[in-house]
Structure 1
């Protein structure tokens, strides 16, 4: 790689380690965004089911860790939805769907951006690895010094 000629291999190895740390952080963030997307999809699915339920119906609702509770639906026309910053508001089902769809779009965009950043970091790491490998091979060849 032309941009690396003349660079100290130790500096490149340090850059590689920094790229590796950044990649690990990004991978953790990707995991959190994926969990948020799954949560959003579950909420959208539940809201979709609510639109087919009449008031007074009994349903099972998830309470976490694969556990459910039976509940009677007293009102199926509105849901309480998180709008950010720890604030939740009551909205009609259609509005709640719009809010969740927008959130899902933002999460998808964020996930795409993170995956692109991971790809770039990976390419930079591979370039450093390739350059260092070529340097080691060149130093090990007789008559190359």
Structure 2
């Protein structure tokens, strides 16, 4: 934050608020990405379990909001996988697993990058806080000297 000495305190305050908004947006994105990573993990576990399931087996499947439905497995060797842009395709278990592992790795990388961006924003915010604190201390020190 070189050149802070020349900046107007109001400009620094506005910059700080902008950094804070960006940090909050990244934090929300981190939450969504974490949810997606967890979802991929659940899918991968389910795919691994399907290897051991025989056709005709009755299972409970989640339908949302903690609700389940009983269903008979008619085919346990293929699953329908979302490949993006609202397109889903039927794939053998191994292919589906590879697709999900790749997706999970991409999401984890995105999570790491967002975390790094959040850390940078945090450092910039701390630098502004520190600068303003020093300026306030200097102003109080000068004010105390003029009163004596």
CA RMSD of aligned residues (A): 1.2
Q: Which residue in 2 is equivalent to 1:103?
A: 103
For residue 5 of structure 1, give the secondary structure of its aligned residue in structure 2.
helix
Q: Which residue in 2 is equivalent to 1:41?
A: 41
Deviation by residue 1:25-73 (Cα, 9 ceiling, x = unmatched): 0011111101111111111111111111011111111111111111100
How far residue 2 of structure 1 moved from its aligned partner, in angstroms, is 4.4
2:71 counterpart of 1:66: no
Q: Supply the distance in 2 between the matched residues of 1:29 and 1:119 (Cα, whole angstroms).
A: 14
How far residue 7 of structure 1 moved from its aligned partner, in angstroms, is 1.0
State the TM-score, normalizing by the size of structure 1. 0.95
Moved over 2 A (4+): none
Q: Which residue in 2 is equivalent to 1:79?
A: 79
Q: Gaps spanning 5+ residues in structure 1: where?
A: none
